Amino acid sequence: MTWNPMLEPWLLVVVAVLLVGYVVYAAIRASARARLMWLGRLVMVLALVAALARPGIGTYSANVANDAVDVVFVVDTSASVGAEDWGGEAVRLEGMKEDIKQLAADHPGARYAMITFNSVASQRLPFTTDATALQEAVDLLTPEDGYYAMGSSPTVAADLLHEVLRDAVEADPEGERARLVYYLGDGEDTLNGEEEDFSESAGLVQGGSVLGYGTKAGAKVRAYDTYARDYADYIYDSGSYEPGISKIDEDTLDSIAQQLRVSYQHRDASSEPEAADVDVRRGTLAPDTANRMSFPIYWVFAMVIVGWLLIESFLLVRAGREVRDALTDQERREDAREAGDDV
């Protein structure tokens, strides 16, 4: 059982001693019949003290406000995220959008920022606590236009991520905030340029994850048409004129996770992403129990108080009716006496 008192513990003890002491004193001085009422009031006082202590039993997971957390989403928007291997024929980007929204819900109250990348990286959303702004930015995510795609690099966002994190650190001189990075991509390198390294950002984050999308078998890639705002035909291999196949590169994704010193998760439509556990009171990573709470049972004691108050109200109303009837009877007697009638 856990306790989360509404008052300071010492003040709750003082209140309890005063109330219990007064009721016991009154019960000792009362008549035998009235003493039963005071014993009932003693039960009510004890229930009140117990309710103020706010007891709880068991545990359950709860989302708590992560107002000391910065979350950066690094999202692959290259043409390959249009591959049809997310839970059937849905494209990878749809899974990424679902996961971003779920991870944001797992960190309510946090500041969110978003970086997207294909052949180049850009910051789509500066840090904001507006979850609606994040959702709108996510809804607007589209793959690179399939007809003009110039390839992509899974590491092209490394420098920009470090810059965003460095600015967040400089804006938090007392070091009270935790910074999380969620990288979402398939790891496929079609740019064949020089690889960048995320290691420089590792010391600026306290957690996060690299989330991988796609399958080893791969899938055909739908070509997104920027002008039609929809997916058109497939992207074709320029040599064979067959639809191109995009495959996940988990070695690259695992390497990025190691550079950032975060975990790697392979994602599919049958599961949910795992969010980092954060102790929002200190802005640092917390054990699994940091966001677990007890089931409150103070309402049980509150019901005892309400029950006794109803009994007191009933007895008070009945006593008032008896007094009123007695006064009415006395007035009748006096009226009859004044009229010379026998009482």
pLDDT tens digits for range 288-338: 444 456 678 888 999 999 999 999 999 889 988 888 888 888 888 887 887
237 and 159: one domain?
yes
Flag whether the pTM goes above 0.85: no
Note down the domain range covering 312. 2-59+295-338
In a domain, 285, yes or no: no
In a domain, 343, yes or no: no
128 and 80: one domain?
yes
222 and 300: one domain?
no
28 and 162: one domain?
no
In a domain, 286, yes or no: no
Q: How far is CA 281 from the centre of its chain?
A: 14
pLDDT per residue as tens digits for the range 139-178: 999 998 877 777 889 999 999 999 999 999 999 888 889 9
- Residue 248 is part of a domain; what is its CATH number? 3.40.50.410
74 and 55: one domain?
no
29 and 75: one domain?
no
Position 59 scores a pLDDT of 65
- Among 279, 311, 329, where does a domain finish? 279
pLDDT per residue as tens digits for the range 56-114: 887 655 555 567 899 999 999 999 999 999 987 899 999 999 999 999 999 998 999 99
The identity of residue 246, as a single letter, is: S
Residue that is written with structure tokens 């004691």 in the block: 301
State how many domains the chain has: 2
Position 293 scores a pLDDT of 60
255 and 307: one domain?
no
In a domain, 289, yes or no: no
In a domain, 273, yes or no: yes
In a domain, 284, yes or no: no
Residues near 164 by beta carbon (within 8 Å), at least 6 away in sequence: 72, 113, 115, 123
In a domain, 64, yes or no: no
Total residues belonging to the chain: 343
Residue pair 190/112 in contact by the 8 Å Cβ criterion:
no
92 and 150: one domain?
yes
Position 336 scores a pLDDT of 82
54 and 80: one domain?
no
pLDDT per residue as tens digits for the range 108-146: 989 999 999 999 999 999 999 999 999 999 999 999 887
High-pLDDT (> 90) share of the chain, %: 60
Q: How large is the average pLDDT for residues 234-255?
A: 88
159 and 50: one domain?
no
In a domain, 92, yes or no: yes
117 and 142: one domain?
yes
248 and 112: one domain?
yes
Paired tokens of 194: 């020089």
Query: Residue 46: which of 302, 320, 338 has the closest Cα?
Result: 302
C-beta neighbour count of 143 within 10 angstroms: 26
